[in-house]
């Protein structure tokens, strides 16, 4: 038997959201140690037209919860994008992990060929479940996790590749 969609999504999202939480802890400690306004870090951008750290965390969480709710035909869970502080971002990650931990494996596995529709402003995208996970959800999730890492690293937070990868 091959790897099911549940194993490709829920545990992967949870693991990397916990890593993201650890990165935020290091960012908050760095700001405190250096006397830097934490909002300067949470509002940091790589370039002016790119979204800030807060939005990278929100998007990673949204991708994780949206993927499993769409794939498993579960009730969507709205989270307002109003976090500004490290504590608020940590709370969002914790809420997302709790939601993921509550998803039954049988809701996800077996949905490889099910139609999944992703609605964004002004467009809709339709995927088979497997393609949604492998071609959109995972790459999008890791993009936002990597951008959060890059924003903290650019700000001087002492992070390395092993921080991004987490405990292996």
| pLDDT tens readout for residues 145-162 | 999 999 999 999 999 999
pLDDT grade, residue 119 (50/70/90)? confident
Q: Name the phi and psi angles at 124, rounded to 5.
A: -135, 140
Pick the CATH number of 5-165 from 3.30.420.40, 1.20.120.450, 3.40.50.150, 1.10.2020.10: 1.20.120.450
Tokens 């071609």 identify what position?
135
- Residues 16, 78, 108, 126, Cα dihedral to 10°: -100
Write out pLDDT tens, residues 51-96: 999 999 999 999 999 999 999 999 999 999 999 999 999 999 999 9
For 32, other C-beta atoms within 10 Å of its C-beta total 11
> Which residues are 116's β-sheet partners?
127
Q: What is the DSSP letter of 74?
A: P
pLDDT grade, residue 1 (50/70/90)? low
What pLDDT is stored for residue 71 in this prediction? 94
pTM score: 0.95
What pLDDT is stored for residue 2 in this prediction? 62
Asked if 6 and 16 count as a contact pair (C-beta separation under 8 A), the reply is: no
């Amino acid at each position: 038997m091959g790897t099911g969609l549940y194993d490709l999504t829920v545990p992967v999202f949870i693991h990397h959201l916990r890593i993201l939480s650890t990165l935020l802890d290091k960012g908050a400690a760095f700001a405190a140690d250096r006397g830097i306004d934490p909002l300067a870090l949470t509002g940091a951008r790589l370039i002016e037209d790119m979204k800030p750290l807060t939005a990278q965390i929100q998007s990673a969480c949204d991708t994780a919860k949206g993927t499993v709710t769409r794939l498993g035909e579960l009730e969507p869970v709205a989270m307002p994008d109003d976090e500004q502080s490290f504590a608020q971002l940590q709370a969002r990650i914790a809420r997302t992990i709790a939601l993921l931990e509550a998803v039954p494996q049988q809701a996800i596995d077996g949905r490889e060929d099910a139609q999944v529709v992703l609605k964004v402003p002004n467009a809709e995208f339709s995927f088979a479940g497997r393609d949604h996970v492998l071609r959109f959800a995972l790459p999008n999730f890791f993009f936002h996790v990597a951008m959060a890492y890059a924003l903290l690293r650019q700000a001087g937070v002492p992070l390395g590749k092993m921080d991004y990868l987490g405990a292996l």
